[in-house]
Structure 1
Amino acid sequence: MSPETILYIVLAGVVSIALAVFMYGYRSKQTGSLRWVFGILRFITLFSILLLIINPKFKSETYTIEKPKLPVLIDNSASIGELGQKENVSAFLQKLKENNELNDKFDVSYYSFGNDFRESDSLSFDEKNTNISKALTSANELFKNQTAPTIVITDGNQTLGNDYEFSSATFKNPIYPVILGDSIQYTDLKIEQLNTNRYAFLKNQFPVEVILTYSGTSPVNSEFAVAQGAATVYRTNVSFSENETSKTLNFTLNASSVGLQKYSAQILPLADEKNKTNNSKQFAVEVIDQATNVLVVSKITHPDLGALKKAITSNERRTVTFKKPAEAVSVLNDFQLVILYQPDRSFASVFAEIEKLNKNTWTISGLQTDWYFLNGAQDNFNKEASNASEDIQAELNGNYGTFAVENIGFDNFPPLHTEFGALTISVPNEVMLAQTVSGIDNGNPLLATTEINGKRDAIWDGEGFWRWRARSFLETESFQSFDDFIGNLVQYLASNKRRSRLEVSSETFYYNNNPIKISAQYFDKNYVFDNRASLNISVKNTETEKQTVFPMLLRNNYYEVDLNSLPAGEYNYTVSVSNEAVSSSGKFTILDFNVEQQFLNADVPKLRRIAQNTNGKAFFATHGDLLINALVENTNYQNIERSEQKVVPLVDWKYLLALIVLALAAEWFIRKYNGLI
């Protein structure tokens, strides 16, 4: 407390005493003890009021001892079980939990990782992927401002994410890998990777790329073959040696019939191979007889056009063609959707032909759009033209019900550029994205869709969405979320199929190490999305006849179910709505591929390198005591004494207020009792 505050308190006391004495010592008519009682009560009242005004404060300092953190990251993927390391994990964790010296020195916390990173409550060792990079990065962010050496219990075999060895360069805390498995190199042939398109066109050939690898020292010969059912469609001999450990095969297969075509690729195993699971791999291609053709008409060159093409063609079932306005008129009838990018007067003949052919359109406007022309070229929307520009952002309409839309982080995307002015849509429409400026809705749609007599159109008012695709990649390390968003919009606009009350979206085949999700939308009789419905999906395995029912969960404006628990096989499904005679059926195939079964041993060299790069040290799981002793004896990890200084009031204002009320009430009752009021 400062000297000035103490002086004010003393002055407040003196003034309170002086006033109390003046009021009840010289001018009071009371005598005896009542004068003293009233004087004391009045002093308390006056002094408390002055204390409230002064509000004296003092500094309170507390000290706490903070232990260094010790996060323990445990690999919960299926490869741990495949390598026979479950018992080693359990034994090492038991040592950590029972070592008193370690737990006295460190604040130990446990996390598990596979597909995701989470706090560890139990271990199942059944996750189908391993993302070590995500686990290390998450732990680094979680303890970035603290002393936190990190134990990573893993075999070092990663199947998802960035290379964790290079990610470790930014880690601030030492990493201590606990290696599960051995470093013995076994003789092994395997299919390292197989790449092919998801879709192919009927009577065309589709490319297949296969990467084969060999671990061993002696020259070996084998045969690689691809079979479809009982027929072999491709075969070749391959040879490897100590110096030639990999081969890349590129070949094509015929798409001879429509539908799902399943194939099995195999490299014949050697006699002494330990792991033969990684010698074969299933893959599939859906053969289609036609594609969705999209025409982009643009007079200008803009990065948005590149982003559009990449997003639309990320699905091989769609093609994109670019034309200038003068070239587009004669070919419009060859396309299911026409995208008009920033139209001006040179688009006059294009709009006339679109109206004649009744083509579905997607109009994208920006700073180079001629709104005087566009307002007169169509009747769906109108914008007040101006010469001023405006930066806008997007906000997803959670009630948008035309088709399923996932929120991919629109609020965090960079602003788009548009011409300032009010945009009015004069026909029935649904706004998917609303315009916001500084987080406030300005009343204009950014993206809206219309459907009149089977003709579908959309207006997108803003240029620069190529930055959205780039930001999406930075945040998710993939373009998929943005590409799926554009793809769903194009799929809706390119179709003239009449909507049903229950729309179900699924793939024809899935790999069982990837997400297996089916989504659906249910509309009431007025074709308004119903978020109160109860949807279930009944899934039946066509081979075992086993039937399972799953509830579908509401996600914004669609329902979704995750079927990753299903084993590989062929399935029929039916989505139904409770208490409604509405259902939709289909089928899909789950292809068996367990990437976690592809490994023979731990990646010891890489784990040792990340330990060295972060000033840690690698240990095998059987040498857990050495790691515990190293941590306990390391003098770099010491308790930290932290002081926290708070400025608190000398007396809480609530207590002072209560004291004032009590003093005044007591004085009033005493006066009343003695007949002085």
Structure 2
Amino acid sequence: MSAETILYIVIAGVIALGVSVFMYGYKSKLSTNLKWILGILRFLTIFLVLLLLINPKFTSETYTIVKPKLPVLVDNSSSINELDRVEEVNEAIKKLQQNRDLQDKFDISLFTFGSTLSDNDSISFSKKNTNITTALKQIDDLFKSEVAPTVIITDGNQTLGADYEFTSQTQKNPVCPIIVGDSTKFVDLRVGQLNTNRYAFLKNQFPVEALLVYSGARPITTQFVIRQGAATVYRETVSFSEVENTKTINLTLPASSVGIQKYTVQLVPLSEEKNKVNNSKRFAVEVIDQATNVLVVSKIIHPDLGALKKSITSNEQRRLEIKTPQEAIEVLDDYQLIILYQPDRFFASVFQEISKLNKNTLTITGLQTDWVFLNSIQKNYVKEVTNETEEVLAAINSNYGTFAVEDIGFDDFPPLKTLFGELSIVIPNEELLKQTINGINSGSPMLATMELNGKRDAILDGEGLWKWRARSYLNSGSFEEFDGFFAKLVQYLASNKRRSRLEVANESFYYNNTAIQLSAQYFDKNFVFDPRASLSITVKEKETSKITVFPLLLKNNFYQVNLTSLPAGEYDYTVSVDDETIQRSGSFTILDFNVEQQFLNANVTKLDRLATNTGGKAFFISENQKLIDFLLTDNSFKSIQKSEQKIVPLIDWKYLLALLVFVLAAEWFIRKYNGLI
């Protein structure tokens, strides 16, 4: 409180005293006791009113003790069950949670993780994947401003994500792994990694690459076998030793039958092997009899051409070639989709041939596009001709209904370059991406699709697609989102299939350790997407004839269902619309592969390095008490005393107002009682 405020309070006291003496002391005929009582009450009334007008501010300070956090992360994957360590893990968790000394020193919280981190303390040891990197990163973000040594109970075997040994170097808090398992080395053969194409073309050959791993001291020889059903399609003798403990087998197999072809890769197990599950893996290849051929016609060299080729050919069902206008004229009929990149007057013959062949097109325009020529050569759209350039951003049209599409982060993508002017589309069309400038819709489409008389076309007004693909990689860590978006556009444009009111999209086969999702779109009679419909899918397992029904849930402008709960097997499905006779049927296969069964030992080396990188210490699960002693004796994990200072004005003090009311009421009653009112 300042000296000035204290002076005002003293003056207020003097004024209140003076008024009270004047009213009840000077020439007053009241009794002495009554003078004193009424004088004091009047003094308090005036003083309190003046005090509220001065409104002095008081500082209050409170102290709290904040204990360090102790997050305990438990590996909830099935590998713990495979190692037969469930009881030991549960016992270790119980000891950590019930230790009184730890409870006094730390604020203990329990988390579980498989592919993602969860604060659910339900531990089933049934998750199909392990992502230690993500779990540690999310915990680090959660407790980044606090003292929070992290205990992680795991075998150290990771099936998803970046290598936690290296990413842990940025961890802010120390990590103390409890190693589930031991360092004993068993003799083991396993198929470490299997690389194959997802699709192959009929009468071609497809490559298979297998990485084989051996753990053991003595030299051994075994057989590497690939079977299709009961038939052996490949066999090779392989030898290993303690030094030469890995081999890479490269081979090709013939694609002789259309459809899903299933194979089993096996390393014939040794008699002394403890884990024989990891000696084999299954894979499948879908053999198709025709590829989608895409032609890019361009007179210039531009980074967008490379991005287009990488994106489109990431799907093995599609092939892409780039040709100049002169080279393209003779071969246009060999392709299902023609991409015209920044056309000018040299494209005149190409446009005439496309019109004659009725080919579907995607036109990409930019700074080197001749719009005078483009406006005259086709009648689908027209743009004002200027010599000014501008940079434009994209915003997705959430009501787009021609095909199912998700927002892959267009708002965060860099701008594309285009020529200034309004683009108008004069035939039936649907806008997929809107053009925005400084967050305001310019009224021109950036990407729109058109369909007239069975011919499909699209226009993308802007160059710089390579920047979008690069940003998508930076945002998500892979090109899959951007390539998937572009794949849907190409699939729509490359097909002349008549549009149906119910469209269903699914893969031919899935692995059961990945998400199994199926999506559908339903349109009303005017082919406008209908978000009010109720869709369901009936799934029938071919072997057991078991039928399961799932509802499809609305997500943006399509319906989706997650079928991850289904076991491995072959399935037929039917998607139907309630109160409608429309339905679509198909089939898919789920291949059995449990990556968590591939491990035999705990990864002691990596967990030791994780502890070293973060300043923690690793312990085996049998050394649980040593971990508790380490946490209790380490002086860097201390409670912190925090002080909180509050400045409170006197007028906010409710008790003072209550006292003022009481004093006024008391004076009034006393005066009334004594006949002075």
**TM-score, normalised to structure 1's length?**
0.89
Q: Does residue 1:510 correspond to 2:491, yes or no?
A: no
Q: What is the deviation of 1:650?
A: 3.9
CA distance in 2, matches of 1:243, 1:266: 22
Q: What is the deviation of 1:648?
A: 4.6
Residue 458 of structure 1 is matched in structure 2 by 458
What are the Cα deviations for residues 135-176 of structure 1, in whole angstroms up to 9, with x where unaligned?
A: 111111222222111111110000111011011111111110
Q: Does residue 1:237 correspond to 2:237, yes or no?
A: yes
Residue 532 of structure 2 is matched in structure 1 by 532
Residue 103 of structure 2 is matched in structure 1 by 103
What residue identity is the alignment partner of 1:475? N
Residue 219 of structure 2 is matched in structure 1 by 219
Residue 642 of structure 1 is matched in structure 2 by 642
What residue identity is the alignment partner of 1:308? L
What residue identity is the alignment partner of 1:103? Q
Q: Which moved more, 1:368-377 or 1:524-533?
A: 368-377
Residue 300 of structure 1 is matched in structure 2 by 300
Question: Using a 3 Å threshold, how does the CA distance of structure 1 residues 498 and 238 change in structure 2: closer, same or farther?
Answer: same
Q: What is the deviation of 1:467?
A: 2.2
Q: What is the deviation of 1:380?
A: 2.1
What residue identity is the alignment partner of 1:468? W
Q: What is the deviation of 1:109?
A: 1.6
2:52–2:650 Cα contact (<8 Å) kept? no
Residue 181 of structure 2 is matched in structure 1 by 181
Q: What is the deviation of 1:374?
A: 2.4
Task: Name structure 2 gaps, 5 residues minimum.
Answer: 20-38, 661-677
Residue 501 of structure 1 is matched in structure 2 by 501
Residue 126 of structure 2 is matched in structure 1 by 126
What are the Cα deviations for residues 91-147 of structure 1, in whole angstroms up to 9, with x where unaligned?
A: 111111101111221122221111111212301111111111111111112222221
Q: Which moved more, 1:411-420 or 1:278-287?
A: 411-420
Residue 359 of structure 1 is matched in structure 2 by 359
Residue 171 of structure 1 is matched in structure 2 by 171
Q: Does residue 1:429 correspond to 2:429, yes or no?
A: yes
Q: Does residue 1:290 correspond to 2:296, yes or no?
A: no
Question: Using a 3 Å threshold, how does the CA distance of structure 1 residues 67 and 418 change in structure 2: closer, same or farther?
Answer: farther
2:187–2:215 Cα contact (<8 Å) kept? yes
1:16–1:46 Cα contact (<8 Å) kept? no
CA distance in 2, matches of 1:49, 1:304: 72
What are the Cα deviations for residues 5-64 of structure 1, in whole angstroms up to 9, with x where unaligned?
A: 667888999999999xxxxxxxxxxxxxxxx9xx99x9899979966xxx8655544332
Residue 70 of structure 2 is matched in structure 1 by 70
2:12–2:47 Cα contact (<8 Å) kept? no
What residue identity is the alignment partner of 1:422? E
CA distance in 2, matches of 1:483, 1:538: 30
- Indicate the SS of the match to 1:510: strand
Residue 89 of structure 2 is matched in structure 1 by 89
Residue 631 of structure 1 is matched in structure 2 by 631
Question: Using a 3 Å threshold, how does the CA distance of structure 1 residues 354 and 70 change in structure 2: closer, same or farther?
Answer: same
What are the Cα deviations for residues 421-474 of structure 1, in whole angstroms up to 9, with x where unaligned?
A: 322222222112222333333322221111111111112122223222222222
Residue 27 of structure 2 is matched in structure 1 by none
Map of 1:144-543 to 2, 5 A cutoff? Answer: 144-543=144-543
What residue identity is the alignment partner of 2:617? K
What are the Cα deviations for residues 351-381 of structure 1, in whole angstroms up to 9, with x where unaligned?
A: 2222222211111222332333323332222
Residue 651 of structure 1 is matched in structure 2 by 651
CA distance in 1, matches of 2:487, 2:285: 19
Q: Which moved more, 1:596-605 or 1:142-151?
A: 142-151
What residue identity is the alignment partner of 2:281? K
Question: Using a 3 Å threshold, how does the CA distance of structure 1 residues 469 and 16 change in structure 2: closer, same or farther?
Answer: farther
What are the Cα deviations for residues 520-567 of structure 1, in whole angstroms up to 9, with x where unaligned?
A: 111111111111111111111100111111111111011111111111
Residue 663 of structure 1 is matched in structure 2 by none
What residue identity is the alignment partner of 1:341? Y
CA distance in 1, matches of 2:369, 2:312: 23
Q: Does residue 1:610 correspond to 2:610, yes or no?
A: yes
- Indicate the SS of the match to 1:168: helix
Q: What is the deviation of 1:571?
A: 0.5
Q: What is the deviation of 1:245?
A: 0.3
1:343–1:369 Cα contact (<8 Å) kept? yes
Q: What is the deviation of 1:475?
A: 2.5
CA distance in 1, matches of 2:5, 2:356: 86
Residue 593 of structure 1 is matched in structure 2 by 593
Give the length in aligned residue pairs: 656
What residue identity is the alignment partner of 1:319? R
Q: Which moved more, 1:366-375 or 1:69-78?
A: 366-375
- Indicate the SS of the match to 1:651: helix
What residue identity is the alignment partner of 1:227? R
2:72–2:151 Cα contact (<8 Å) kept? yes
Question: Using a 3 Å threshold, how does the CA distance of structure 1 residues 49 and 630 change in structure 2: closer, same or farther?
Answer: closer
CA distance in 2, matches of 1:657, 1:410: 58
Question: Using a 3 Å threshold, how does the CA distance of structure 1 residues 254 and 62 change in structure 2: closer, same or farther?
Answer: same
Map of 1:529-568 to 2, 5 A cutoff? Answer: 529-568=529-568
CA distance in 1, matches of 2:348, 2:471: 35
What residue identity is the alignment partner of 1:233? V
- Indicate the SS of the match to 1:194: strand
Question: Using a 3 Å threshold, how does the CA distance of structure 1 residues 18 and 129 change in structure 2: closer, same or farther?
Answer: same
What residue identity is the alignment partner of 2:513? N
CA distance in 1, matches of 2:650, 2:461: 60
Question: Using a 3 Å threshold, how does the CA distance of structure 1 residues 272 and 44 change in structure 2: closer, same or farther?
Answer: same
Q: Which moved more, 1:647-656 or 1:428-437?
A: 647-656
CA distance in 2, matches of 1:301, 1:58: 73
CA distance in 1, matches of 2:428, 2:62: 65
What residue identity is the alignment partner of 1:273? E
2:79–2:599 Cα contact (<8 Å) kept? yes
Question: Using a 3 Å threshold, how does the CA distance of structure 1 residues 456 and 655 change in structure 2: closer, same or farther?
Answer: farther
Question: Using a 3 Å threshold, how does the CA distance of structure 1 residues 7 and 430 change in structure 2: closer, same or farther?
Answer: farther
What residue identity is the alignment partner of 1:160? L
Q: What is the deviation of 1:244?
A: 0.6
Q: Identity of paired residues, percent?
A: 64
Question: Using a 3 Å threshold, how does the CA distance of structure 1 residues 313 and 656 change in structure 2: closer, same or farther?
Answer: farther
1:12–1:50 Cα contact (<8 Å) kept? no
Question: Using a 3 Å threshold, how does the CA distance of structure 1 residues 577 and 101 change in structure 2: closer, same or farther?
Answer: same
**TM-score, normalised to structure 2's length?**
0.89
What are the Cα deviations for residues 369-427 of structure 1, in whole angstroms up to 9, with x where unaligned?
A: 23333233322222223333333322222211111111222222223233333222222
Question: Using a 3 Å threshold, how does the CA distance of structure 1 residues 48 and 599 change in structure 2: closer, same or farther?
Answer: same
Question: Using a 3 Å threshold, how does the CA distance of structure 1 residues 450 and 165 change in structure 2: closer, same or farther?
Answer: same
Q: What is the deviation of 1:336?
A: 0.9
- Indicate the SS of the match to 1:211: strand
